[in-house]
Amino acid sequence: MNIHKLALAFSLLICVATEPSSAASVTEPQYIGTIEARELSTGNYVLLERATPEAHTSTTLFGIAGVSRDVSYPGEKSPVRFNAGQKVDFVIRVERQDQDPMTLIQFWSLAPKDGKRVLPLWETGSVYNNNVNHTAMQHAVPFTVDKLGKNFFVFRASSPLPPGEYSLSASNIADGYNFGIDP
């Protein structure tokens, strides 16, 4: 009888010891196009606020004196916060790594306006002035990208982020992954 208990205990020990670790699938983004933050001091992954932006078009004098377009997220601040100077990078899961990652990822600073976080996209002057000012480019955050494993890219801002609100997205996904930097 003791030999049967010993054999059962040994079998359980082998099953537990050989069970594949699920830690990597819990910590890294699990779905293609999803983005998570990674704290460099701990290696912990942090879920970012995922939100779908709302598009707005504003006109002045029925568009004769100008038109502007922006997207916004509700609330003045993201519930996900990091401290200024905190070392954080971002990881996106991709189907494959043979595409230029700079075309896959968008990184924006957002402006507070009327209780929302706004990304101005473009604006025009009067109908007599055909110039379009692509204001979104003024909010683009420069970043660098490296490969991580077989299905991930890791990216980080090229310089420390000042306090404010930020949004990340995969260029083929409408949702933004948002966070804020506190002083």
Average pLDDT over residues 12-28: 37
- Classify residue 88: in a domain, yes or no: yes
pLDDT exceeding 70 applies to what percent of the chain? Answer: 72
Nearest to 142 by CA among 159, 154, 166: 159
Q: What is the pLDDT of residue 70?
A: 86
> Would you list the DSSP string of 26-38?
HHS--STT-EEEE
Average pLDDT over residues 145-157: 94
Domain containing 54 equals: 27-182
Q: What is the pLDDT of residue 172?
A: 66
Total count of domains within the chain = 1
Q: What are phi and psi of 13, to 5 degrees?
A: -60, -45
- Classify residue 65: in a domain, yes or no: yes
Average pLDDT over residues 24-41: 80
Cα–Cα dist 82/95, whole Å: 29
Angle at 54 between CA 49 and CA 57, to 5 degrees: 150
Cα–Cα dist 168/156, whole Å: 11
* Angular region, 11: left φ>0, alpha ψ -120 to 50, beta rest: alpha
Q: What is the pLDDT of residue 181?
A: 97
Which two tokens mark 112? Answer: 């507070």
Least confident among 56-60, 69-73, 102-106, 121-125: 121-125
- Classify residue 4: in a domain, yes or no: no
pLDDT exceeding 90 applies to what percent of the chain? Answer: 51
Q: Which 3-state string (H, E, C) describes 73-89?
A: EECCCCCCEEECCCCEE
Q: What is the pLDDT of residue 4?
A: 39
- Classify residue 12: in a domain, yes or no: no
Higher-pLDDT residue of 58 and 179 is 179
Check if the beta carbon of residue 46 is closer than 8 Å to that of residue 37: yes
- Classify residue 170: in a domain, yes or no: yes
- Assign 5 a pLDDT band (cuts: 50, 70, 90): very low
Q: What is the pLDDT of residue 99?
A: 87
**How long is the chain?**
183
Q: What is the pLDDT of residue 126?
A: 53
- Classify residue 18: in a domain, yes or no: no
Average pLDDT over residues 60-69: 63
- Assign 8 a pLDDT band (cuts: 50, 70, 90): very low
- Classify residue 14: in a domain, yes or no: no
Nearest to 45 by CA among 55, 54, 35: 35
- Classify residue 68: in a domain, yes or no: yes
